[in-house]
Every structure is written in C-alpha cells, then in structure tokens.
Structure 1
C-alpha cells in the first residue's frame, strides 16, 4: 500500500526537464477542457496552467473557447504533439501570453486559433508552421498583433481566407510567402493595416488590395 501511495505521489508531482511540477496528465481534448474549466473556475482568469502536462494532446481545438477574460499562463506548455489548434483561443479577448517558445511543428490546422484575441501580440516569428494546411481567420480581430511572420513557411497552406482580417496593427512583409498551393484567400487582409501596404501582400492575393 505504501509503495502504491509513493508511486501515486511521484506521478502527481512529476517534474519535467524544465523543473515544472505537473499535477494533471490529460490524454484527450475532453479531459484537458475539463481540467482547464475547473482550474479557471477555482483560481480565476490569471491561473498558472503550466502544471498541466499536455504533451500527449493532439487535439487542442476550442480548449479556451469563449473564456473572454482569460489571460492565464500557458507559456511552458509542450504542444509538440498538437495537430489541431482550431478555435483554441477563440474569443479570448484579453489573452496576451508569450507563446514564442511553443513547438507547433506538427500542426496542420489553425482555423480561428486566435480569433478575436484583441490583446494578443506574442512574437511568433520562429514558429514552424510548415505542416499547416488551414489558416482561415487565424488572427481575425487581433487588434494589437504585429509579429514579424515574414519567414513563415506556409507552402502547404491551401486556405488563407480572412487570416488577418481586422488586424488593425499588423503590417509585416509577407510578399515572399510561398502560396502556390493556396485555393482560397478571400478577405485575406480586409480592414487590416496590411491592406494599406499591398506590396507586402503575397502577389497571388495582392490584386484584391490594389
């Protein structure tokens, strides 16, 4: 019995190589959502969620959907197995955490990931999005966002619709993006600051803003 208790305690306080002591180990999207809901309800909008080991999660879709006041710490999350990030922070108007160290190299879906994240302006310049096919409305309504995404490899992308719509601060130079596989790009930069600099928009999409 004592051995089992010790093992349980070790698992509950398992530390990763960064020294973070994990207390929760979800394996599915549903389990993760429930843990997130419980912790936010208990500790509030600024809760530190780095105590959750998300390394087994492949589906991060809608995890923080409609937590409009949420600005908790997820900076140390290991999302390297993540494939689907659609709607992850949708309508998180106050979310402003630094996600620059996230490894999203296995992701394929960023539909509406930061939709209406008005305060979000993390440096995402080093994100590896080379396996992503879907970018629709990824940053729609991100009022403050202006990260340099000029070096993003979006060559597998097929849908870029409304990606930067209503991004009032965004003006990065995307002219060298490889968008040869793009099939949809309607309203790519409509009502954004980028629309005022058509020379920075990929040539394939540019005619809509000339």
Structure 2
C-alpha cells in the first residue's frame, strides 16, 4: 500500500516512531463514499466518530475507487490547518498523531457530504505502567516531530502555489494575460524556466507540486481555462509580487484552499471581478487585505460556496461595481454594515442565492446606486431593515426581492420616483405584506 509523504503542517509519516504507550487506530474511507448517501448512516468514514487519547495515532485508508481528501475542519468553517492530505488516492494511507486534547472534525473537499470526527481525550496512565520511566530520548523525539510539522518556508519574494497532477504526462498552465513581463518559474520537479506570457509545463509523474514564480510577474488569470484551474490545490504565499489585476485570477479553481499567511500587494489593482468565482473550496482569511484602490468587485465571490470569512474591516470606498459580489455564496453570513458604500453604483445580483446571508445593511449609503435588480433574489434568510436607504437614484428594482421568502420589512419611506422597472420586484416574496401606498410611482416611466 502506498504511503503519502505529506509536506503539510501537522501530517506525520506512518514510519515515524510513535510516542511511548501510544496506540494506533484505523479509519476506512469506505467504498462508494464518493456517491451521496453514505452520510445518512454516517458510514462515509468508518468509524464516523473515533475517541482516542493524547499521543495516539490515527491511520486513514482509502478503500474507495475515487480520489478524496481528508481535511481537518468543517464545510461551513473551511479547513483549519491541523491536517490535510490531498489528493488521497485509492489504496493510499496516511497518519496523524494527535498531541492535544479536543474535538477534530474533518471532511472531504471533493465530496463534502463525507464527514468524520476524532475526539482526543487526556491520556490516562495505566496502573501497570504508573512507574514506567519514559525513554531518555523522549525530548529528542518531540523535537523531531515538531520539526516535521514545521510550515515550509519559501523565498519571501516568490508567489507560491501547489498544484495536483493526477496522471503522468499531465501539464499545467500559468496564464498571465498581457500585463506580465519576463519572469521565472520553479516548477517543483527540479525544472526552472524563464517565461514571457503564458507558461506551460508537463510533469513526468503524478503528485503534488509546489510552483514558485518570481520576477516581472504581475497577473494570473485562471478563469479562461476551467480544466486547468481545477488542478490548483492551494495558494501558499503571495510574495512580493506587485499585482496589476485580479480579474478572474482564481475563477473556477474549485479545489483551491488557502494557506498563505502574508497579504498580496494590491496597490496597483483596480479590478477584482470574478477573482474567486466558482472557487468552491476557498475559505481563506483575507480580512487584512488593503483593497482601498479597488473599483470593481463584481462577482468576486460568486458561487464561492465555502466562503464565510470576515470582511468588515475592508476599505471599499472606491468600489463602484458590487453587482453579483456574493451571488451564490451560499454560506456567507458576515457583518458588512460598516462598509463605506458611497461609491456604489451597481448592486444588482449582489446577494442573489446567498441563502445564508442575514446581516444588517441599514447603514449603507446607496445614494449613488442606479441598479438594484435581482439584488436579494432567493436570499431566503434575509430579513433586515432597509427603510433608511436613499434609493432616489435607482432606475431598476426588477426582481429585487423575488423569492426572498423571509423578507418583511417596511419600505414605505423609499423615494422610488426614479424607478422605471419594478417587474417582479416582490414576486414569490411570500412573507412580505408591507404597506407601499405612499410610493410615488410614475406609470411607464413617464
């Protein structure tokens, strides 16, 4: 059986010597778990819940015919970095030694219905072993384990990502658009090349490869090739790249998780539209980014179905386009009421299908907004006051609350005299029963 040599933090090789008195436990990734249904009986991982002691080792084995991941964390909160093996191929195995008490939920990034739980209790000394002296090299062993668990370090200037190569002879492309000059790529297999424009590289063997980019490299645009985007596994470091655009940078990178602890230099960037669109696994903490230069955030998190991180500290005072920003971001429910939205002009589709979102927005300045069509369509949880909004510049509210099934807030104070399209504004908003008789509506926009 193959052994995955995990380079990620906190993943320990099966060949590592175990702590004295520790036990080994086995968890099977069951056959057929790649098809929904095993979650009904908690049989995607067997056992679903495993209780062990501090210092014990858990060995996961993939008995399925499909490739999975075993990733600590939850689908709602995202990966927590304790352990992660990806990809987890059929017949592979890996292990992790738990040295802290607590509960460790985990799941599969590829098949998110697959979930398990490891409960780690404080080790209880056995009476027969109460006077047993630990081996003299116990401290050395701990140092070795800590060294193995250390986060990899890279040249601070490099932009670092990890890619998954599933079959020998497979290639990846680093698409740059037209804004990048001459740069170098360390492909992680011993090959370093100098590039100008798009870079492509073929790998002899399957595996995970750490790719480092440096030089006059200012943009990446995965959004044009979805078959290539899905091979990106993680963003590990932003480096000192001076980015010029983030438009569609990681669009379609559905398997991408986030491990970077530094922040990107966005001082020359104005466009972040579609940056994480359809990045289904992405749930990175990006709360400390300086986005003060950005004007376009349209569809930035569209269909980023795992994303639910704080953004309240962002300075978005320059943003004019927020249309579709959280469209289909089904878990997002973070406070953003403190945003300076005075430059917003288009909020259409902004929360369409954002089914978890239910945060106050009454402090927003929307006086410059002209487009609100489909803004809360199918935002089924949303029910917050909006009566303080100045909508006097809005031209279209078409389908604004269509299927917003929970919404029932007074809007009678709105000045809708500029609106020329209200088609389906409250259609299927089954809870809404507010009095709008004070609205001044001009028939046919005349």
Q: TM-score, normalised by structure 1?
A: 0.78
Provide, for residues 123-145 of structure 1, a one-character-per-residue CA deviation record: whole Å limited to 9, x for no partner.
00110000000000011111111
- The root-mean-square deviation of aligned C-alpha atoms, in Å, is 2.5
In the TM superposition, what is the alpha-carbon distance from 1:29 to its structure 2 partner? Answer: 1.9
Q: Deviations over 1:156-176 (max 9, x none)?
A: 000000111111111110011
Q: Are 1:120 and 2:321 an aligned pair?
A: no
Contact (CA 8 Å) 1:102, 1:127: kept in 2 or not?
A: yes
Change (3 A) 1:201 1:160: farther
Q: Following TM superposition, by how much is the alpha carbon of 1:196 offset from its aligned partner in structure 2, in angstroms?
A: 3.0
Aligned to 1:60: 297
Per the alignment, residue 208 of structure 1 pairs with none
Displacement of 1:202 after TM fit? 6.1
Other-structure match for 2:263 = 23
Task: Select the residue among 388, 392, 396 that pairs with 1:151.
Answer: 388
1:110 aligns with 2:365: no
Moved more, 119-128 or 69-78: 69-78
CA distance in structure 1 between the partners assigned to 2:316 and 2:418 by the alignment: 26
1:89 partner SS: coil
Counterpart contact for 2:283–2:309, Cα < 8 Å:
yes
Structure 1: gaps (5+ residues) = 6-10, 13-20, 206-210
Query: What CA distance in whole angstroms lies between the structure 2 residues aligned with 1:153 and 1:178?
Result: 7
Deviation at 1:52, TM superposition (A): 1.7
Paired position in structure 1 for 2:317: 80
Shift of 1:75: 1.9
Instruction: Name the residue aligned to 2:427.
Output: 190
1:170 and 2:407 aligned: yes
1:93 is matched with which residue: 301, 319, 330?
330
1:203 corresponds in structure 2 to 439
Q: 1:193 to 1:202 in 2, by over 3 A?
A: farther
Tell me the CA shift for residue 46 of structure 1: 3.6
1:193 CA drift (Å): 3.8
Aligned to 1:129: 366
Q: Which has the higher helix share?
A: 1
In the TM superposition, what is the alpha-carbon distance from 1:204 to its structure 2 partner?
4.9
Tell me: CA distance 1:93–1:201, structure 2 relative to 1, closer, same or farther (3 Å).
Answer: farther
Structure-2 change in CA distance of 1:178 and 1:186 (3 Å): same
Aligned length: 182
SS of structure 2 residue aligned to 1:196: coil
SS at the partner of 1:29?
coil
Deviation readout 1:67-97 (Å, 9 max, x if unpaired): 1222122221111100000111111111111
Secondary structure at the aligned position of 2:385 is classed as coil
* Greater radius of gyration (CA): 2
Offset at 1:23?
Answer: 1.9
List 4+ stretches of structure 1 deviating above 6 A: none
In 2, Cα distance between equivalents of 1:144 and 1:45: 22
More strand per residue? 2
Which structure would you say has the larger RCO, counting Cα contacts within 8 Å and 6 or more residues apart?
A: 1
Distance in 1, matches of 2:399 and 2:437, equals 13
Q: Measure how far apart 1:22 and its partner are.
A: 7.2
In the alignment, the residues of structure 2 paired with residue 200 and residue 194 of structure 1 have an alpha-carbon distance, to the nearest angstrom, of 15
Do the aligned residues in 2 keep the contact of 1:173 with 1:201 (CA within 8 Å)?
A: no
TM-score scaled to structure 2, two decimals? 0.38
